[in-house]
Amino acid sequence: MTFLWIIGITNAINLLDGLDGLAAGVSSIVILTISTLAIIQGDLFVTALGVILLGSTVGFLVHNFNPAKIFMGDTGALFLGFMISVISLLGFKNVTVFSLLIPVIILAVPISDTFFAIIRRLVNKKKISDADKSHLHHRLMQIGFSHKETVLVIYTMSAFFGLAAVMLTMSTLWMSVIIIAIVLIVIEWIVERIGLVSATYRPMINFFNKVTTKSVKRTG
């Protein structure tokens, strides 16, 4: 599982590197969240690694944000993904309740983008390795967001999931269940709203529309 996690996150960050400042910004938010949790847990080693890595990514982001003057490239993105995968494992190895879900929630943006890219290609009967223009940032731009707006929207998504992960570590059992349910609903809503799988895949939105329509008819 450790090997698959490292390989998966390494490649997920690389796949996210499709717009100026996107991978660096999301990675900075992820690292900040991991470092914050490491401070709360008193893990000095992970905190030190996180602060060093955060300083590097933020310093790079200043010159990589649109319009970019320097670029990360595959080597930089793969290295960044590898480091994030490692510190996320180190940071939560001693957490007992929902220990597996915390790093997954923190990294929900790159994980979801990669996961649904695989689903999308399987549904369309394409090779998993085939590139397409339907990743999260592509879809946001296709529905009308500008380059900078798309990046900022994805930053906001990443910050939301980071905050949810921090809250999860300090919550009771039932509150943790509620937080996880909210996270899953938000992910599904985003996927359906922007057509990350396909334009016709909208089961949750269609369900809520039917419920709302029935409620309006009854009250009317």
Q: Is 45 helix (H, G, I), strand (E, B) or coil?
A: helix
Two structure tokens written together for 100: 């597996």
pLDDT of 181: 94
pLDDT tens, residue by residue, 90-142: 877 655 556 678 999 999 999 999 999 898 888 888 888 787 888 999 999 99
What ranges do the domains of the chain cover? 2-219
Q: How far apart are CA 169 and CA 101, in angstroms?
A: 10
Residue 171's Cβ-count burial label (10 Å; 0-12, 13-18, 19+) is: middle
pLDDT of 139: 92
pLDDT of 95: 53
**R_g of the chain computed on alpha carbons:** 18
Would the annotation count 43 as a binding residue?
A: no
Would the annotation count 74 as a binding residue?
A: yes
Q: Is 69 helix (H, G, I), strand (E, B) or coil?
A: coil
Closest CA to 166 of 83, 94, 84, 92: 92
Q: Are 94 and 101 in contact (CB under 8 A)?
A: no
Give the confidence band of 166 by pLDDT, cuts at 50, 70, 90: very high
pLDDT tens, residue by residue, 5-19: 999 999 999 999 989
Closest CA to 106 of 154, 151, 164: 164
Q: Crossing angle for the helix pair 173-194 and 203-219, nearest 10 degrees?
A: 100
If you write DSSP's letter for every residue of 184-209 in order, what string do you get? HHHHHHHHHHHTSS-TT--HHHHHHH
Two structure tokens written together for 176: 């943790």
Closest CA to 82 of 154, 161, 162, 27: 27
